[in-house]
Homo-oligomer: A and B are copies of this chain.
Amino acid sequence: MVGPSRFMTLLSCFELGLVDRIREHPGLTAAELGEAVGATPDAVEQLLLLLVKERFVTYDEESGGYAPDALAAVDEKDLKRALAYMNMIKVVALRQLFHLTESARTGTLVGLRELYGVTGGTLYGAVAEHPDLRDAWANLMNTVTAHIDPWFFGNVGIPAGARVLDLAGNTGLGAIHTVTHKASPGLRVTTFDLPEKEAEALANFRSHGVAEQCSFLGGDVFDGVPRGFDTVLIKHFLDMFDKGDVVRILRGVNEALETGGQVHIMVPVYPEDITDTDNYNVDFFPAFFIGCTMGQGGPQKLSVYQSWLEECGFKVTKTLTKSAAEVPPDVIPVQAILSATKVARPGPLGSH
């Protein structure tokens, strides 16, 4: 019940500048802080109570001064990342969630329609039109991709000289990272995404000096997956869809590959034991995907993705879940990698 008010009270203490001031000048009183940030001492006192409760700051009854407690030990860059998350949740989710029930009933983003007049689309379309959504989203996503791609490429094998397709590769960042992290003679990477991403992708390839190794192919994954590749990457994508669409995507990839072709998937996963109280993914993603970004979708357990891959003609060769110890506590998604190989189908006469 107090989830929304806890969330905004904490974020507001940052937005008002209270946290920065307490970190810079320990000992300021509510009156001094109020004057500095443009709020009444009463409001400052009320909002900081939660931070005292949670031992983020201390309050000295004698002097009336506030000082950093747990917040003293937090690095500026960690704070910035946590705030990028909180701001994204505020801008993309807080108000939209009001309409979650209707979004679940209709499979559409009722919140985006009510707040932005967006009908029938997804958040990923809306960010192109609405700078506030885009800023909140891009600010977070750039941080996330920068942190997680090195881990992904450190844990998948891409043969020298491979022809790689980055499925739903957006404006080419994944292709660029592939070339950077998995350089080999003859390696070629193609970003496959909607045609409107082409110009920006090509510009990105040029500015990163990888225009020779990288190319762009326009299309929609639900109309078919291009052939002629031996490795397909699917990063940050499958969790956006319900099972029916995930299976369509995986079958499409399977059809496009030769036997022995490989797929490497990176996707957030739920814990195998859903009742795990240290994992906050089920607290966040269902409502976020259904109510705020897609009107459907949400991650699955690793074992579920594995069984879906097998349903679609793959043999899973490697799975790896990022350990909680490697992830800062403010990062919600728990990412996993699944690598799989297309297996030969039994011939029409059961020939093997």
Chain A residues near B (Cβ < 8 Å) = 1-9, 11-12, 15-16, 37-40, 42-43, 46-47, 49-50, 52-53, 55, 59, 85-86, 89-90, 93-95, 97-98, 100-101, 104-105, 107, 242-244, 270, 274-277, 280, 282-291, 296-298, 330, 332
Contacts and interface: CB of A to CB of B under 8 A. Distances in A.
A40 B290 CA distance: 11
B7 A296 contact: no
Given A4-B7, A274-B52, A282-B49, A94 B95 contact: yes
A107 to B, nearest CB: 6
A2 B285 CA distance: 9
Contact of A15 (B85, B101, B290): B101
A113 B16 CA distance: 20
With most chain B CB atoms within 10 A of its CB, the pick from A4, A9, A49, A274 is A4
B8 A97 contact: yes
A97 B4 contact: yes
Contacts of A85: 1
With most chain B CB atoms within 10 A of its CB, the pick from A12, A93, A104, A274 is A104
Contact of A282 (B53, B243, B297): B53
Given A39-B104, A39-B105, A332 B53 contact: no
Contacts of A11: 100-101
Contacts of A9: 100, 283, 286-287
13 contacts: A2-B283, A2-B332, A5-B93, A8-B291, A43-B242, A43-B290, A46-B290, A49-B270, A50-B286, A52-B275, A53-B283, A94-B95, A94-B98
A284 B2 contact: yes
Contacts of A101: 11-12, 15-16
Contacts of A242: 40, 42-43
A104 B296 contact: no
Contacts of A296: 40, 42-43
| 4 tightest Cβ-Cβ pairs between the two chains A and B | A3-B3, A46-B286, A42-B242, A49-B282
Contacts of A1: 7, 85-86, 89, 280, 284, 330, 332
Contacts of A4: 3-4, 7, 89, 93-94, 97
A332 B1 CA distance: 9
B100 A59 contact: no
Nearest to A271: B53
A76 to B, nearest CB: 19
A141 to B, nearest CB: 16
